[in-house]
Amino acid sequence: MTLQKQFEKFNRNIKMDYDENSELASKRDILINKLKADEDLPSFTVINQGSYAMYTGVKPLDNKDYDIDVGLRFNVNKDDYKPLDLKEKVCEILKDHTDYGAEIKQPCVTVTYKKNGNIGYHVDLVIYAYEDKSDTNSQMYLARGKSGSEPENKKWEEADPMGLKDKIMGKFDDEDERAQYRRIIRYLKRWKNKVFKSNGNSEPPGIGITLLAYEKFEPKYKITDYVTLSREYNDLDALIYLVQQIKSMFLYQTYKNNRLLYRIKLNLPVTPKTDVFFKMTDIQMTDFKDKIEELLNNLNEVKNEAEVVEQCKKLKDIFGDAFEVPEKKATAKKQSYMFAPNSSSGGR
């Protein structure tokens, strides 16, 4: 048993496969069908988005709920509706659908479900309209705001959800490189779910983790056969490299209460190009930086450990019980985890 095999098993343990989650898929379809059956609601098409569409979701930890993002692209012109009109219609239709009901939030309408007597998961319905409904390639707009929002925050905001998905997931044409890319994103998402509190904005958003990987991830592997160009992937090296790059992205902002404060500013690569970390304060971002530095130190300790079982014990401390520790008899006594650089990409 190699460390890479243990990483791949970890990936299978944490991977959220929405299509195979029959309960979640069923709830989503019931919601959509209920909305489509309402005669007063304009017609719409469904856009799967977020980690749901990118296949980068992770199973929630026991103390956290999880969600899926579903875009509703209404066949209307945005100038024919106020930003809250369609959100309020959707919320009204679904207000008694579950025990927790539906709630209008700034970017979406959220339907929350109970599981084992507690909040289990929720579906975020994001409302879109066209600049010109007669042209399906025209600019799309997202309905922002809720009833208590300031007037300037109730608005139609330019958006490109499909372009965002295509850009992020189109970074790698090679299937195996893309698979490692997604695995590394999942590892970081599980790590951040473990070490950050989910209340408020102290936890970096999932799209932020994904975009950090989009900007800085590089595949890491060695070629094992130069005739067939067979490759052996190295998720530990790929993860260490990405975390090193993330650490370097934090820039000094200010000095406050005897503490240097840092942050990363990272804009969406498509319209509206907002900073994905804008909700986090400088203090929260600096805490993020501190945790990234600790993660890097811990990963380097894993790399410097020769025995696979001991490496896995350290990785279990980092990621939690989903990273399994094999019995010693299933592993070689010693394993050097130093791979030769790949000549095709400057050290992949």
In this predicted model, what pLDDT tens digit does every residue of 233-291 receive, in sequence order? 999 999 999 999 999 999 999 999 899 999 999 999 999 999 999 999 999 999 999 99
pLDDT (average), residues 141-150: 93
Distance CA 84, CA 65 (A): 26
pLDDT of the residue at 347: 47
* Domain positions in the chain: 16-159, 170-330
Distance (Å) of CA 67 to CA 38, 64, 126, 195, 200: 24, 10, 12, 19, 16
pLDDT (average), residues 28-37: 93
Return the CATH fold of 16-159: Beta Polymerase; domain 2 (3.30.460)
- Taking residue 282's Cβ as centre, other Cβ atoms within 10 Å add up to 15
> Can you give the pTM of this predicted structure?
0.90
Asked if 262 contacts 285 with a C-beta cutoff of 8 angstroms, the reply is yes
Asked if 114 contacts 120 with a C-beta cutoff of 8 angstroms, the reply is yes
Distance CA 109, CA 160 (A): 18
Question: Residue 18: is its pLDDT beyond 70?
Answer: no
Q: What separation, in Å, do the N-terminal and C-terminal C-alpha atoms of the chain show?
A: 23
Question: Residue 333: is its pLDDT beyond 70?
Answer: no
Return the CATH fold of 170-330: Poly(a)-polymerase, middle domain (1.10.1410)
Distance CA 187, CA 22 (A): 24
Q: Tell me the pLDDT tens digit for each residue of 59-96.
A: 888 766 677 889 999 999 999 999 999 999 999 999 99
